[in-house]
Structure 1
Amino acid sequence: MIIQEVLAQLENAVNPIVKILQRGDQFKVIAMGFKKGMVLKEHQTPIPAKLVVIDGSVLYRQGEGSVTLNRFDEQEIPVAVIHSVEALENSICILIQG
């Protein structure tokens, strides 16, 4: 019930809620919850990753470019590239690393 926990914690949150759904030797699956306007600030990933929007809409920024991701859209996230995510509306995303 990890996604339900994310949704419950999101009600009073001021920052995105991030919880691990599944972890293995060479992968990690993470649930992320955002309220409209919340930002996952600029960061990099040391391993290949994919962001999947389960509900809502987010703005994925990478370098000088950006792309709006809506429900069921996905975005490859390259290794060692600075990127950020901003919620355009209340959103739930899954991040797959590895």
Structure 2
Amino acid sequence: MKTASLVKNLQYNETKPTIQVLIDTEAGKEIRITFKEGQVMKEHKTPFPIVVEIFEGAIDFGVNGEIHNLKKGDLVALEGGIPHDLKALETSTVRLSLNKADSAKRVEDVANNS
């Protein structure tokens, strides 16, 4: 059994979203992304399907140029290869569920290059 918390030990970066792997199992990865208001993850694609949960806050989630305003409790499932971007409308915590074959480093690279 593995355990993690979406609310403990939150870390924020002044200039970009912070990426933390919470759980890595044989089935997939659970990642926490913390945003300060106004921080973005520029448009990118993932090679595999993802699920995004807005755990706290509010995010503008762009898909193929269309903006979806997501708030606490909202979930989005997205197939691989779909261009998307995120912008924090307020301080936010996002849970990202990745396919096992995907990498947390790819997500970190997106955050670092945004």
TM, length-normalised to structure 1:
0.88
Identity over aligned pairs, percent: 27
Residue segments in structure 2 that go unaligned for 5+ positions in a row = 100-114
Residue of structure 2 equivalent to 1:68:
69
Runs of 4+ displaced beyond 4 Å: none
Residue of structure 2 equivalent to 1:44:
45
Matched position secondary structure for 1:76? strand
Residue segments in structure 1 that go unaligned for 5+ positions in a row = none
Residue of structure 2 equivalent to 1:92:
93
> For the aligned residues, what is the CA RMSD?
1.5
Please give the alpha-carbon distance, in whole angstroms, between the structure 2 residues aligned to 1:2 and 1:73. 18
The one-letter code of the counterpart of 1:67 is H
Residue of structure 1 equivalent to 2:19:
18
Cα deviation, residue 2, structure 1? 6.0
Please give the alpha-carbon distance, in whole angstroms, between the structure 2 residues aligned to 1:48 and 1:64. 19
Cα deviation, residue 64, structure 1? 2.2
